[in-house]
Amino acid sequence: MGEHDAIKGKVAEILAGANCYPFLFIGSGLSMRYMGTRNWAGLLEWVCSETLDDEFAFARARAKARNAERNGEVDDAMPYVATLIEDDVNAALLSGERFDWFRKRYANELKQGVSPVKQFIADDLAKATVADCVEVDVLSSGCPGKVSGVITTNYDHLAEQLFPQSDVFVGGDDLLFGEMSYSAEIYKIHGSASRPDTMVLDQADYTAFRDKQAYLAAKILTVFVEYPIIFLGYSLRDPDMRSILGSIAKCVGPDRAEMLADRFVFVEYGDSAGDPVRTMSQEFGANSIAMTHVVTRDFLPVFEAVAETETRYDPRVVRKLRQSVYEIASHLDPASTVVTSGFSKLDNLSDDDRVIIGFNAVREGFGKIPTAEDLYYDAVFDDHDFNASLVVGDYLPKLLKSNPGGLPMRKYLRDAGGIPLDERIVKDLDKRTSMSAFLNDGIRRSAAGWRERLRDFSIDGLVEAFGFDEAHTRLAALEPSEIDLDQLQGHLEQVITRGGGRDAIEGNPELKRAIRILDFLRFGAE
SS3 annotation, 491-507 = HHHHHHHHCCCHHHHCC
Between 102 and 283, residue with greater pLDDT: 102
Residue 257 pLDDT: 66
Q: What's the rounded mean pLDDT across residues 463-486?
A: 94
For domain 1-35+130-311, give the fold: Rossmann fold (3.40.50)
Between 14 and 329, residue with greater pLDDT: 14
Residue 338 pLDDT: 56
Residue 326 pLDDT: 52
Rounded distance between C-alpha atoms, residue 395 and residue 110, angstroms: 62
Beta bridge partners of 266: 231, 293
Residue 361 pLDDT: 58
Residue 319 pLDDT: 54
Between 375 and 249, residue with greater pLDDT: 375
Beta bridge partners of 290: 281
Checking if the pLDDT of 325 tops 70, the result is no
Rounded distance between C-alpha atoms, residue 376 and residue 489, angstroms: 12
Average pLDDT along the chain: 86
The SS3 call for residue 18 is helix
**Which pTM value belongs to this model?**
0.63
Band (pLDDT 50/70/90 cuts) for residue 354 is: low
- Provide the b/e sequence for 451-460 (b: ≥16 CB within 10 Å): beebeeeebe
The length of the chain in residues reads 526
Band (pLDDT 50/70/90 cuts) for residue 334 is: very low
Residue 235 pLDDT: 86
Checking if the pLDDT of 365 tops 50, the result is no
Q: What's the rounded mean pLDDT across residues 85-107?
A: 96
Find out whether 74 and 203 touch, Cβ atoms under 8 Å.
Answer: yes
- Provide the b/e sequence for 148-170 (b: ≥16 CB within 10 Å): bbbbbbbbbbbbbbbbeebbbbb
Residue 448 pLDDT: 93
Q: Which of 15-24, 141-150, 212-221, 236-245 has the lowest mean pLDDT?
A: 212-221
> Can you list the alpha helix ranges (DSSP code H) found in 19-126?
28-35, 40-51, 57-70, 77-95, 100-105, 107-111, 116-125
Band (pLDDT 50/70/90 cuts) for residue 309 is: confident
Contacts of 352 (CB under 8 A, 6+ apart): none
H-helix or E-strand spanning residue 468? helix 468-471
Between 11 and 287, residue with greater pLDDT: 11
Angle (CA) 305-311-314 rounded to 5° is: 100
Q: Which of 82-86, 149-153, 181-185 has the highest mean pLDDT?
A: 82-86
How many Cα atoms within 13 Å fall on the side-chain side of residue 371?
10
- Identify the DSSP state of 163: S
Rounded distance between C-alpha atoms, residue 206 and residue 88, angstroms: 20
Report the chain's C-alpha Rg in angstroms. 32
Checking if the pLDDT of 339 tops 70, the result is no
Rounded distance between C-alpha atoms, residue 186 and residue 282, angstroms: 26
Residue 97 pLDDT: 93
Checking if the pLDDT of 479 tops 60, the result is yes
- Give whole-number Cα distances, 309 to 64, 137, 139, 142, in Å: 48, 17, 13, 10
Contacts of 375 (CB under 8 A, 6+ apart): 386, 391, 395, 399, 407, 408, 409, 412
SS3 readout for 101-113: HHHHHCHHHHHCC
Show me where the domains of the chain are located: 1-35+130-311, 38-127, 372-523
Residue 210 pLDDT: 82
Checking if the pLDDT of 167 tops 80, the result is yes
> Can you list the alpha helix ranges (DSSP code H) found in 258-360?
300-307, 315-330
Rounded distance between C-alpha atoms, residue 407 and residue 399, angstroms: 8
Residue 404 pLDDT: 85
| DSSP secondary structure of 209-274 | HHHHHHHHHHHTHHHHHHS-EEEES--TT-HHHHHHHHHHHHHHHHHHHGGGGGTEEEEEES--SS
Q: Which of 49-58, 80-89, 311-320, 370-379 has the lowest mean pLDDT?
A: 311-320
Q: What's the rounded mean pLDDT across residues 398-404?
A: 89
Band (pLDDT 50/70/90 cuts) for residue 224 is: confident
Residue 1 pLDDT: 65
Checking if the pLDDT of 238 tops 90, the result is no
